[in-house]
Amino acid sequence: MAGYSNAAAIEIQSVAHVNVNCRDLPRSVDFYREHLGLASAAHPASEKPQDASGIGLPGQVRRDAHMLCDARGMAGPAVALLQWLTPEPVGSCLDLIQTPTVTSA
């Protein structure tokens, strides 16, 4: 690619956390605990609907969440697993995967 440089625009010092949307929160928590060795650090669920304008959605949202960390706890990077309760998710990430087609000449 013309004009491409390997130099980073910013130097990343650390990552605080990343959000992962999931459909089945308990199943996802189990996966991250069992296979990645992370532990629950917090369970910040929203009990009442919250204004969604801050995340670019109209209306109100409710979600359940778990913050998972390694042995460093919240001093290290964390994974925030989110399950949206209201509005309910539609579609699937699998819907975005296109099956390759083969055509004969």
For the chain, the domains span 15-66
- Beta bridge pairs of residue 65: 82
The DSSP secondary structure of 56-76, one letter per residue, reads: T-SSEEEEEEEEEE-TTGGGS
C-alpha R_g of the chain = 19
Query: In the chain, what is the greatest distance between 2 CA atoms, to the nearest angstrom?
Result: 58
Q: What tokens were used for 100?
A: 């390759």
The one-digit pLDDT tens for each residue of the chain (105 residues) are: 455 566 666 676 677 888 998 989 999 999 999 999 999 999 987 788 888 888 787 888 898 999 999 998 888 889 999 998 888 777 776 666 666 555 555
> Is this structure's pTM higher than 0.75?
no
